[in-house]
Structure 1
Amino acid sequence: MAYSAQQLITHGDLGVFSIELYDVALLLIGCGILIASIMPRLAAKNRSITAPMLYLCLGLVIFRLPWAPELPDLMNDIHWAKRFAEMGVILALTSAGLRLNSPFAWNSWRISWRLLAVTMPLTIAASAWLGWWAAGLLPVSALLLGAAIAPTDPVLAGDVEVPEPNGPEESTSRLALTTEAGINDGLAFPFTNLAIALALVGLAPSGWLGGWLVMDVFYKITAGALIGAGSGYLVAKIIFSPLSKITRGVLALSLTLVPYGLAELASSYGFIAVFVAACVYRHYESSHEYQELVHDFSEAIVRLMIAVLMFFVGAYICCGIFALMTPAMWGVAFAIVFLIRPLSGLIALVGTGLPRRQRLAISFFGIRGLGSIYYLAYGLFHADFPDAMRIWAIVLAVVLISVVIHGITAVTVMQKLDAEERKGKFKLMWKRT
């Protein structure tokens, strides 16, 4: 093998300047970190443009350039999408849990339980039916679409969630959307696993019903919640001890990684464990000044993950996946955002006594994003699904629509609701004592 540096001197061979994908990736990540520190300020000057929208547009632009690297294949390299989206979601779940000032109580979370028990199953069923009936997906593929698209997204929902620990009184709308995003990212797992089971063993209930109910529904949800509560308490005891004064910034990461790792080792749901752990930690010495420090640390990491992940969403959109979209598939994507989620949300909120504007806002702002990408990647990683690339196209279309439409409207609408709630026009679901 020739020594490339000497070949350059002797023969003018420019092979010494060869470009490796790893180096390009490092450059892009470095640029993403820089941009993530600048974008929020630019977005703050224009409420109709959010940071995720700017990252997505950046991916669209860069991957149209001739020197852009080739993207990993969404089928053959599915593991990278699964792992990257997974990390973004669990970090965002920690951040969401750390924001909550409200206690675990039926009164304070009663809207959230309705959204989880009614809105989520209705969204799964309606999205799956529409994917089968309108888009022509096979039943197992349609079920995977419904399961993937059901969870609201804690990563992109910062504009509609509660602001920060010990901040202003939490509005009912923000509290409901924050807790829904935190919990339903774990509760989408049983339905995704159901789609995987049907893809592996067929539609006959004898091949999957017992195992699905016992393991995927009962055991994994219960174990995830218990592991999250225990590990959250343990991490809080360590972080708030005198031993951790020097390394608290590093220990903050353990609030995400310890419960997630323990839950996954126990074959339970790590997403549920992470959110529960963050909530338990939040209410351990809840007025301590370090609550805000840990929250700010996790928020900084989440902002970086948003930059990188939305950049790649824009890149895949740019690289032609929407060529698979038919008019019917576009209709399904728009219906999920504008019809299915709002209508199923309004059904869940019947009888709550909330004013109409609050019910409309809670129902409409079911933001879709990286949670949907994770669940789709998870399903495709564990089983072969017909129409896999068509599901990818629909999910990315829903994410694009949600990022743009919800991004344009969220700040203005939520600020108006906050102002009216502070003036006493709306009744808060709970009061801090």
Structure 2
Amino acid sequence: MQVSSFAPEPYILILTGAGLLIALVAWLPLALKRLPLSLPIVCIGIGAAIFSLPAVTLRPLPLDYPEITERFTEFVVIIALMGAGLKLDRPFSWRKWSVTWRLLAITMPIGILAITALGGWMLGLSWIAALLLAASLAPTDPVLASDVQVGPPKTGEEDEVRFGLTSEAGLNDGFAFPFVHLAIALGLAATTGEPWAGKWLLHNVLWEIGAGLIGGWLIGRLFGWLTFHVPADTKLAKTGDGLIAIAATFVSYGVTELIHCYGFLAVFVTALTLRRSHRDHEFNRQMHDITEQVERLAMMVLLLLFGGALVSGLLRPLHLVDVAAALAILLIIRPIGGLIALAGFEARFSEKMTLAFFGIRGVGSFYYLAYGLNHMELTVGERLWAIVGLVALFSILLHGLTVTPVMRLLDRSQGRDPDADEEAPPPSQKRPASA
């Protein structure tokens, strides 16, 4: 009688691992809610442990898989942008969004200029490489910033700090893209000698931003009408199928990219417009919830791979000066740029400092760097990945360890009990008031 040796099929191992990952997606946020520890930190640790095993031979370094890196990070970001737009309760207006405009118009340009100068003078990079590094690291990440963003629709968790960080993360991805294209245009001009300024300004700035805004608004209006305003028999809001938000994400991004404009910007505008179609409808919560679940699952997979990249040598090309620069970007450039932008803004200093400090860097930076390196030739690609990876790692650790105590302290200073939602019984369990 022949006894087969125990050799599990890769499919079975993948299925088991996927089940464990999904269980962690559901359980870990609850377990970590009150601890000074974030979900991304745990995911990176798990990924580092998995890829350190002798049996695991895959080295998930981004330069070894450039196309996959660009597309996967792109997918995670657009899902996060849809979720961010859906959960904003505040109606769009120039005055009510003043904190957003300050962070976009002042903080981000300061960050791009300062990081470019840092890269050129301190790190010894070419000015083109320094500009690409700056464009990658200037925007606040919409994926890893969930702990400092507003809560789900209609939960009341929308103070000025959470609103500012959510809206900034939603919009600055689109407005950082012209600077990535500027680095690409300068790189091509350096080799071909072709003029670049006119094409960059007319196409990459005016057309791609303008068409992204208009395209996102039109698609949001279309999906808003299909979801809330078509005849009752086929009204999507009655089905309770929140997957319509994922459909809106893909259509918005796909259509606007087909006409060569900024899909990131379009997705966020689509989300805002879709939410505006019926701001108080309960279906907004269902759309947000399915989007958040998809985002969290994709984010965990990506961070597992990031942990694997760290133990596979991602940071090996770093110089000592790069470590100092990474700390300066997080602890000096972003906070100072944020405080400059918020000068004269009506808020307490603790709120301004929180807005300035929590400029989280992560998945968006990975995407921009992957996109830039895939569209231009740079000999310092490994070092740029090491710097961006280090900044993201420092940000995940620094902001992840401080976000819970800082946000709980901020809530208490504003007269809110951060534990009130956990202690209060759900509405269905509350006794009706006696007549």
TM-score higher than 0.5: yes
- Structure 2 residue 20 is the aligned partner of structure 1 residue 31: yes
2-structure distance, mates of 1:305, 1:237: 29
Corresponding position: 1:40 with 2:6: no
CA offsets, 1:55-82, max 9 Å, x none?
Answer: 0110111111001141344224201011
- Structure 1 equivalent of residue 295 of structure 2: 302
2:187 partner letter = A
Q: Is the 8 A contact 1:94 1:278 kept in 2?
A: yes
Matching residue within 363, 374, 385 for 1:370: 363
SS in 1 for 2:414: helix
The one-character-per-residue Cα deviations of 1:113-148 (angstroms, maximum 9, x if unpaired) are: 011011101101111211222222221111110000
- Tell whether the 8 Å contact from 1:24 to 1:69 is kept in structure 2 after alignment: no
Partner of 1:201: 189
Q: Which amino acid aligns with 1:193?
A: H
Contact 1:239–1:248, Cα closer than 8 Å, also in 2 = no
Please report how far the alpha carbon of residue 384 of structure 1 lies from its aligned counterpart in structure 2 after TM superposition.
Answer: 1.2
Matched, 1:98 2:93: no
Corresponding residue number in structure 2 for 1:396: 389
One of 208, 217, 220 as aligned partner of 1:220: 208
Task: Flag structure 2 segments of 5+ consecutive residues without an equivalent.
Answer: 417-435
1:354-407 deviations in whole A, cap 9, x for unaligned? 221111111000000100000001111111112111000000101111111111
Within the candidate set 378, 383, 401, 1:385 is matched to: 378
User: Is 1:180 paired with 2:168?
Assistant: yes
Report whether the alignment pairs 1:265 with 2:258. yes
Letter aligned with residue 393 of structure 1: A
Q: Distance in 2 between matches of 1:30 and 1:129?
A: 46
Question: 315, 325, 334: which one pairs with 1:322?
Answer: 315
CA distance in 1, matches of 2:194, 2:267: 33
Q: Which amino acid aligns with 1:39?
A: L
User: What are the Cα deviations for residues 240-291 of structure 1, in whole angstroms up to 9, with x where unaligned?
Assistant: 2431344723322112111111110110000000000101111111111111
Which of 267, 271, 276 is 1:278 aligned to? 271
Per the TM alignment, residue 323 of structure 1 is displaced from its structure 2 partner at its CA by 1.8
**Residue in structure 2 matched with residue 63 of structure 1 by the alignment:** 51
State the identity %.
40
Task: Give yes or no for contact 1:33–1:307 (8 Å, CA) kept in 2.
Answer: no
The equivalent position to 1:409 in structure 2, one of 402, 408, 433, is 402
2:103 aligns with: 115
Do 2:34 and 2:404's aligned partners in 1 also have CA atoms closer than 8 Å?
Answer: no
Q: Comparing 361-370 with 253-262, which one deviates more in the overlay? A: 253-262
* 2:155 aligned residue (119, 143, 167): 167
TM-score (norm 2): 0.89
Change (3 A) 1:272 1:129: same
Q: Equivalent residue for 1:428? A: none
- Structure 1 unpaired stretches of 5+: 1-8, 424-433
Cα separation, 1, equivalents of 2:79 and 2:117? 32
2:421 maps to which residue? none
Is the 8 Å Cα contact of residues 244 and 287 (structure 2) preserved in structure 1?
no
Instruction: Give, as a single letter, the amino acid of the residue that structure 1 aligns with 2:326.
Output: A
The Cα shift of 1:414 comes to 1.9
Question: What amino acid does structure 1 have at the position aligned with 2:356?
Answer: S
Match of 1:353 among 324, 343, 346: 346
Quote the Cα distance in structure 1 between the aligned partners of 2:253 and 2:315: 34
Check conservation: 1:88, 1:155, Cα contact below 8 A.
yes
Residue 159 of structure 1 aligns to a residue in which SS?
helix
- Which aligned pairs between 1:288-299 and structure 2 lie closer than 5 A? 288-299=281-292
Residue 390 of structure 1 aligns with an amino acid whose one-letter code is R
Q: What is the total number of aligned residue pairs between the two structures?
A: 411
In structure 2, do the counterparts of structure 1 residues 279 and 197 end up closer, same or farther at CA, with 3 Å as the change threshold?
A: same
- Paired with 1:319 and 1:29, the residues of 2 have a C-alpha distance of 22
Listed one character per residue, the Cα deviations across residues 58-109 of structure 1 (whole Å, up to 9, x for unaligned) are 0111111001141344224201011111111000001100111111112211
What amino acid does structure 2 have at the position aligned with 1:415?
R
Q: Is the 8 A contact 1:154 1:181 kept in 2?
A: yes
Identify the residue that residue 67 of structure 2 maps to in structure 1.
Answer: 79
